[in-house]
Amino acid sequence: MNDLMSELEEVDNDDNTVTRTAAYRLMELEHKLLFNELDYIHHLLDIINQK
């Protein structure tokens, strides 16, 4: 979670105007969050299927 917070701070510290780089970094962060959520869901499904 600390990595995500530091990444958000880096994006937030960009110029006031939304640059292409900042938008790309936000999209990359969103993908990281989605993949983390998917991993968590798969983990929960594995636990459920074991019972």
| Tens-digit pLDDT profile for residues 2-12 | 776 676 666 65
CA 14 to chain centre: 18
**Which residues make Cβ contacts (< 8 Å) with residue 21, sequence separation at least 6?**
14
Supply the pTM of this predicted model: 0.55
Q: How far is Cα 38 from Cα 40, in angstroms, rounded to an integer?
A: 5
Q: How far apart are CA 7 and CA 46, in angstroms?
A: 30
Could you give the C-alpha distances from 35 to 12, 14, 15, 21, in angstroms and in order? 22, 25, 28, 21
Reported as a single tens digit per residue, the pLDDT across 35-51 is 999 999 999 999 999 97
